[in-house]
């Protein structure tokens, strides 16, 4: 990576000033007191047209750093009368809403610069996305914007546009914002190829990447510019001060009832919210988001009414826009969201971020916490609230990594053949290409630096219609290929390409049926995790999966088997591999101290020095590790895998304590299960989470032998065979075939529904397997599953570690699961129980462990017996709920009928009038309905309201978070200060002090400033001062005096 270098020292302010046009310089210092650190590093290189990656926290002026040199050049050209009708700069972000935000933030400075210049300089800013109207596009074609704001998909369309692409032929700068959010998925792969198309058309182009906290920066820089071009990295990721803590609602996370834990958690949340102006709470699922809002409203009705809201991908566009507007205006005390506010528009002033449960990666935590203290010089304030001991250890290590600047590495997909097929189809629309020149152009993208000619050639063969049998599946040649040349074929090629551009797959819900009877619906991501024979919970009942056809899953009732796939599996974020290793390292250091017989006092000293935790948390971490050590004499860690043979006489599982994150454990569990199935000629039940996986049964020899059999060089072969018939492979093949334009989502204005896409893909998959088992899109579907969804590369490292003896396998037999095994051993069973029963069961298991450690006899309880009792309690509850529903007074009969259907487990085809009535008559229901019935209804309400969800829809909805008004209070104060101080000719030193006050500083102001402020408050307000700044100055004086 000799072409990538880090900037060690910034430029002097005088050097930045020297390049600024006088008008721009005047504007800048009227608006800002000085250059920020990112600006001191980045503005000069961008002016000199050097490629640059700027990594800085949210609110650290990254965007202005990217644009200042560009605005400067445009203003200078305009004043000299040489501004051309062309696109000078292209700005690309993943969100349409962010694009609209950027446009607003550029238009305002340009208007101010026009005022200073005394004339309209004629600098144009335009947004081109899927929402742009035909008339707006026509205007852009006649008078192109000097700064073009767009998305990756719209860039691809413009590059293939017959007329508009001419406006892009002399672009000087290309800014990629939120580059970390693009680099890790196929949208980024798509963009990287289209940047090469743009670069080839332009010649030289300065690429500017703007990123939040991310690692490794060298890889992201190469993603930005390609493998051989130079790039300078500006790393000011830890520019801000951090106030971050791991907190718990109770001192002891295990010896407490669920009711107490629940109450204390909401009391703590309420306390945190009331102590701050605006709090943003992150959950990890959409259902949890709604639940937290609902509980806060009902536990503290006097404090939370209209001042709290939920924000997630399933909300309608209008509701989300309204909530965001209120958030910017400061009307909301608290907003609870899933992942929908991690990226995107400025949502106003947030002074506290709370993460409920682990964010699962250091980078994600820093991104979430960075939503607080959004302005430069403000402190990032974040709290991670943990509810169990695994989360406590995980989040404590996560916090240590964050504060010590160890960020998990980003995975950038490589050699995605489906995206390649789509992009090549677009490229041949432009011209006839020489194949080798086309290949070399593609390889200039970092994502295709290792592309093999054979793979490239096979994609050309597919596009050229070499596989004649595919015509039976209505897949026709899109290009011609002859004598080393390729070109477009057919009149409809451009229309088909432009209406099917993009990489985000359509997704939908799966209908679950027993025969012809509809039971409910499942998230498609949930179905991906299942194989025939798996048992899952839906509507409180257990079902066994048989097979899927299109968007229908056929199941049978399975009353006596515990679930094998936990209900959270498709929504929960996976633990990053790097963070998992750090947790494993901490466990190893604890094991070394236990083995050395260190005293509790010595170990507590180590925990307090190693982790950033309070005394309660340190005690809980110590007790958890001590119990595991006392019970088993071992702690699984980064260099030791414990294989635990658990057998309580009823339930038998082999638990592998592989703390490597769910993506690695998915690979390991599938590989082990596949090897056992092949040797024993029958399927085996497996389950996994971030901390390990299990194989059901009592196969002591075969389980460990299977793990040892999977050599690192054999792993790809084993896993390719293991996923061949899996649901995840079938679903991902549809995604890949759609990207590669084998299945068209849109043909001549007709949209193909997801169900039809899936049916088409299943027929196509069968045909391709017969045609060529190594067909490029089949290979790509497997690559996506194993490299992007799972983590085969780090799995190889684990397997290699076992082979080399760096990772030891240690075997252990237990009749009660060891403390570290509780969650993995019981994950399926826990889904059947009510949450109170889950908590009570874990407490009982904990008591059994402590009794065994103490050498006492204790009445054992098996998970199967506990589950059976939970089922009986649930059945009794169902009958009681149905009685209460039928006995409701003054309630329409259809409402009672719908209630009974829902109590029996129905979650589909719920009458919309029923749902409207529940919302409309919420107060009456609260006042008059029986407590158990109310509690049940409001618990399942989010499931009932879930419409058709897709990842495409999620991105689209995020992308349409348009900023309706710029109501940034701090910016407003700055603007009014500039105008007022200019009118009364305020001393610049005093003005700079007031800038600092607006930015949140509370002390170290000049005596002259305080004297001026005292006089300001005593006298009538001068007409030069507008209301907001006048109120602010009076309030500030009251605080300072």
pLDDT band at 6 (very low <50, low <70, confident <90, very high): very high
- Residue 540 scores a pLDDT above 60: no
- Residue 569 scores a pLDDT above 60: no
- Residue 884 scores a pLDDT above 80: yes
Phi, psi at 362, each rounded to 5°: -65, -45
- Residue 606 scores a pLDDT above 90: yes
- Residue 287 scores a pLDDT above 50: yes
Place of tokens 């406590």: 392
User: Is residue 467 in some structural domain?
Assistant: no
Domain boundary (208, 235, 262) is at 235
- Residue 420 scores a pLDDT above 80: yes
Mean pLDDT of 780-785: 97
Say whether both 272 and 174 belong to one domain. Answer: no
User: Is residue 284 in some structural domain?
Assistant: yes
List, in order, residues 6 or more apart from 275 with CB less than 8 Å away: 352
- Gyration radius of the chain over CA positions: 30
- Residue 550 scores a pLDDT above 80: no
**DSSP assignment of 91-126:** EE-S-HHHHHHHHHHHHHHHHHHHHHHTS-----EE
Say whether both 361 and 270 belong to one domain. Answer: yes
Say whether both 1022 and 979 belong to one domain. Answer: yes
> Which residues on adjacent β-strands are paired with residue 207?
174
Say whether both 134 and 212 belong to one domain. Answer: yes
- Distance (Å, whole) CA 273 – CA 353: 10
- Tens digits of per-residue pLDDT, 212-238? 888 999 999 999 999 999 999 999 877
- Tens digits of per-residue pLDDT, 17-32? 999 999 999 999 999 9
What pLDDT does 828 receive?
A: 60
Place of tokens 């305009």: 78
- CA angle, corner 848, sides to 845 and 853, nearest 5? 130
User: Is residue 930 in some structural domain?
Assistant: no
pLDDT band at 961 (very low <50, low <70, confident <90, very high): very low
As a whole number, the mean pLDDT across the chain is: 86
What pLDDT does 834 receive?
A: 56
Number of compact structural domains in the chain: 4
Number of residues that make up the chain: 1041
What pLDDT does 239 receive?
A: 64
Phi, psi at 160, each rounded to 5°: -105, 5
What pLDDT does 686 receive?
A: 85
What pLDDT does 685 receive?
A: 82
Sign, CA dihedral 691-695-697-703, equals negative
- Residue 712 scores a pLDDT above 80: yes
- Of 110-114, 366-370, 508-512, highest mean pLDDT: 110-114
User: Is residue 123 in some structural domain?
Assistant: yes
Mean pLDDT of 289-318: 82
| pLDDT above 90: percentage of residues in the chain | 47
Helix axes 417-427, 152-159, angle to 10 degrees: 40
Q: Name the residue with higher pLDDT: 955 or 987.
A: 987
Closest-CA residue to 233 (of 198, 264, 213, 209): 209
Torsion from C-alpha of 332, 345, 144, 47, nearest 10 degrees: 130
Say whether both 209 and 332 belong to one domain. Answer: no
What pLDDT does 964 receive?
A: 27
pLDDT band at 785 (very low <50, low <70, confident <90, very high): very high
Place of tokens 């605005």: 71
Say whether both 231 and 374 belong to one domain. Answer: no
Mean pLDDT of 360-386: 85
Say whether both 270 and 148 belong to one domain. Answer: no
Domain boundary (403, 419, 453) is at 403
What pLDDT does 571 receive?
A: 55
- Distance (Å, whole) CA 546 – CA 558: 11
Helix axes 988-998, 1027-1040, angle to 10 degrees: 80
Which pTM does this prediction carry? 0.80
List, in order, residues 6 or more apart from 844 with CB less than 8 Å away: 861, 866
User: Is residue 690 in some structural domain?
Assistant: no
What pLDDT does 871 receive?
A: 64
- Distance (Å, whole) CA 139 – CA 136: 5
Domain boundary (202, 235, 268) is at 235
| pLDDT above 70: percentage of residues in the chain | 89
Q: Name the residue with higher pLDDT: 100 or 555.
A: 555
Strand, coil or helix: what is 80?
coil
Say whether both 12 and 32 belong to one domain. Answer: yes
Contact 331, 148 (CB under 8 A): no
- Tens digits of per-residue pLDDT, 720-744? 999 998 889 998 999 999 999 999 9
User: Is residue 119 in some structural domain?
Assistant: yes
- Residue 313 scores a pLDDT above 90: no
Task: Show the domain range for 184.
Answer: 4-235
**DSSP assignment of 815-864:** SS--GGGHHHHHHHHHHHS-HHHHHHHHHHHHHHHHHHHHT-------HH
- Distance (Å, whole) CA 834 – CA 876: 13
- Distance (Å, whole) CA 518 – CA 512: 6
- Distance (Å, whole) CA 875 – CA 641: 40
- Residue 900 scores a pLDDT above 80: yes
Place of tokens 């390609």: 226
User: Is residue 99 in some structural domain?
Assistant: yes
Lowest mean pLDDT among 219-223, 600-604, 652-656: 652-656
What pLDDT does 535 receive?
A: 80
User: Is residue 718 in some structural domain?
Assistant: no
Say whether both 56 and 179 belong to one domain. Answer: yes
What pLDDT does 158 receive?
A: 95
What pLDDT does 512 receive?
A: 84
Q: Name the residue with higher pLDDT: 1030 or 443.
A: 443
Mean pLDDT of 460-483: 87
pLDDT band at 869 (very low <50, low <70, confident <90, very high): low
Q: Name the residue with higher pLDDT: 100 or 1010.
A: 1010
Say whether both 206 and 320 belong to one domain. Answer: no
Phi, psi at 244, each rounded to 5°: -130, 140
Q: State the CB neighbour count (10 A cutoff) for residue 704.
A: 18
Q: Domain containing 344 — which CATH number? A: 3.40.50.300
Chain centre distance of CA 611: 26
Say whether both 38 and 110 belong to one domain. Answer: yes
Lowest mean pLDDT among 377-381, 790-794, 977-981: 377-381
pLDDT band at 320 (very low <50, low <70, confident <90, very high): confident
> Which residues on adjacent β-strands are paired with residue 858?
none
Say whether both 146 and 263 belong to one domain. Answer: no
pLDDT band at 773 (very low <50, low <70, confident <90, very high): confident
- Residue 971 scores a pLDDT above 90: no
- CA angle, corner 546, sides to 653 and 945, nearest 5? 95
């Amino acid at each position: 990576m000799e072409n990538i270098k880090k900037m060690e020292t910034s430029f002097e302010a005088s050097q930045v000033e020297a390049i600024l046009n006088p008008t721009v310089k005047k504007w800048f210092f009227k608006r800002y007191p000085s250059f920020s650190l990112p600006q001191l590093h980045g503005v000069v290189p961008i002016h000199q047209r050097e490629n640059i990656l700027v990594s800085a926290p949210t609110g650290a002026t990254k965007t202005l750093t990217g644009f200042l040199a560009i605005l400067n050049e445009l203003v200078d050209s305009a004043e000299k009368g040489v501004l051309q009708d062309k696109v000078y700069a292209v700005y690309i972000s993943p969100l349409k809403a962010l694009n609209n935000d950027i446009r607003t933030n550029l238009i305002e400075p340009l208007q101010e610069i026009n005022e200073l210049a005394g004339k309209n300089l004629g600098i144009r800013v335009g947004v081109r996305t899927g929402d742009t109207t035909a008339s707006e596009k026509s205007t852009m074609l006649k008078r192109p914007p000097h700064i073009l704001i767009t998305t990756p998909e719209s860039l691809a369309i413009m590059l293939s546009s017959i007329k508009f692409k001419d406006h892009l032929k002399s672009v000087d700068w290309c800014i990629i914002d939120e580059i970390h959010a693009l680099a890790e998925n196929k949208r980024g792969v798509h963009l990287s190829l289209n940047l090469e198309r743009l670069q080839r058309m332009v010649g030289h182009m300065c690429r500017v990447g703007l990123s939040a906290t991310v690692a490794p920066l060298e890889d992201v820089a190469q993603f930005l510019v390609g493998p051989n071009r130079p790039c300078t990295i500006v790393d000011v990721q830890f520019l801000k001060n951090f106030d971050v803590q791991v907190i718990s609602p109770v001192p002891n996370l295990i010896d407490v009832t669920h009711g107490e834990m629940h109450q204390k958690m909401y009391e703590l949340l309420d306390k945190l919210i009331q102590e701050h102006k605006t709090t943003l709470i992150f959950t990890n699922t959409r259902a949890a988001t709604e639940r937290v809002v609902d509980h806060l409203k009902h536990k503290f009705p006097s404090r939370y009414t209209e001042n709290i809201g939920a924000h997630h991908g399933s909300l309608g566009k209008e509701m989300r826009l309204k909530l965001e507007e209120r958030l910017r205006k400061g009307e909301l005390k608290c907003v609870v969201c899933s992942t929908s506010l991690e990226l995107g528009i400025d949502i106003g002033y947030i002074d506290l971020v709370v993460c409920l449960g682990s964010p699962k990666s250091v980078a994600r935590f820093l991104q979430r916490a960075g939503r607080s203290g959004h302005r430069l010089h403000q402190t990032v304030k974040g709290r991670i609230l943990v509810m169990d001991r695994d989360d406590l250890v995980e989040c404590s290590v996560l916090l240590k990594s964050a504060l010590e600047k160890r960020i998990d590495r980003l995975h950038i997909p490589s050699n995605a053949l489906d995206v390649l097929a789509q992009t090549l189809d677009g490229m041949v629309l432009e011209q006839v290409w020489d194949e080798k020149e086309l290949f070399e152009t593609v390889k200039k993208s970092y994502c295709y630096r290792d592309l093999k000619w054979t793979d490239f050639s096979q994609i050309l063969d597919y596009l050229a219609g070499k596989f004649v049998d595919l015509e039976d599946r209505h897949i026709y040649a899109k290009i011609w290929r002859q004598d080393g040349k390729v070109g477009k074929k057919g009149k409809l090629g451009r229309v088909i390409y432009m209406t099917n551009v993009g990489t985000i797959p359509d997704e939908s819900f799966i209908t679950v049926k027993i025969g012809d009877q509809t039971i409910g619906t499942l998230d498609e991501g949930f179905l991906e995790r299942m194989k025939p024979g798996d048992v899952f919970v839906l509507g409180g009942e257990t079902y066994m999966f048989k097979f899927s056809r299109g968007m229908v899953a056929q199941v049978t009732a399975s009353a006596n088997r515990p679930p094998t796939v936990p209900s959270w599996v498709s929504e929960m974020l996976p633990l990053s591999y790097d963070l998992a290793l750090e947790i494993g390292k901490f466990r190893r250091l604890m094991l070394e101290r236990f083995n050395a017989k260190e005293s509790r006092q010595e170990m507590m000293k180590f925990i307090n020095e190693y982790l950033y935790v309070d005394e309660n948390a340190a005690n809980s971490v110590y007790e958890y590790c001590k119990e595991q050590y006392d019970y088993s004499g071992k702690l699984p860690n980064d260099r030791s895998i414990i294989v635990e043979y658990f057998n309580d006489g009823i339930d038998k599982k082999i638990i592998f304590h592989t703390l490597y994150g769910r993506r690695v454990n998915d690979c390991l569990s599938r590989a082990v299960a596949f090897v056992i199935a092949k040797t024993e000629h029958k399927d085996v039940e497996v389950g996994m989470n971030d901390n390990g996986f299990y194989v059901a049964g009592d196969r002591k020899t075969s389980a460990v032998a299977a793990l040892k059999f999977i050599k690192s060089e054999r792993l790809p072969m084993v896993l390719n065979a293991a996923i061949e018939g899996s649901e995840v492979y079938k679903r991902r093949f549809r995604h890949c075939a759609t990207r590669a334009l084998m299945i068209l989502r849109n043909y001549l204005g007709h949209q193909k529904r997801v169900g039809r896409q899936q049916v088409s893909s299943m027929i196509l998959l069968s045909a391709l397997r017969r045609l060529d088992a190594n067909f490029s899109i089949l290979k790509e579907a497997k690559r996506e599953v194993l490299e992007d969804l799972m983590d085969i590369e780090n799995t190889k490292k684990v397997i290699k570690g076992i082979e080399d003896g760096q990772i030891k396998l240690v075997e252990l037999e237990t009749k009660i699961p060891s403390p570290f095994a509780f969650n993995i051993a019981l994950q399926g069973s826990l889904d059947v129980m009510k949450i109170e029963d889950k908590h009570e069961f874990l407490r009982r298991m904990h008591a059994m462990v402590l009794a065994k450690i103490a050498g006492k006899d204790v009445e054992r309880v098996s998970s199967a017996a506990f589950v059976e009792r939970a089922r009986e309690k649930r059945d009794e509850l169902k009958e009681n709920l149905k009685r209460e529903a039928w006995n409701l007074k003054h309630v329409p009969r259809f409402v009672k009928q719908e209630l009974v259907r829902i109590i029996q487990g129905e979650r589909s085809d719920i009458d919309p009038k029923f749902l409207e009535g529940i919302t409309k008559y919420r107060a009456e229901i609260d006042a008059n309905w029986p407590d158990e019935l109310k509690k049940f209804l409001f618990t399942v309400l989010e499931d009932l309201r879930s419409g058709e969800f897709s990842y495409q829809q999620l991105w689209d909805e995020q992308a349409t978070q348009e900023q309706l008004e710029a109501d940034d209070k701090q910016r407003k104060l700055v603007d009014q200060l500039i105008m007022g101080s200019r009118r009364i000719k305020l001393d610049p030193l005093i003005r700079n002090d007031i800038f600092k006050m607006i930015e949140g500083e509370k002390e170290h102001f000049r005596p002259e400033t305080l004297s001026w402020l005292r006089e300001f408050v005593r006298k009538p307000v001068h007409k030069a001062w507008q209301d907001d700044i006048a109120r602010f100055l009076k309030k500030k004086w009251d605080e300072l005096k």
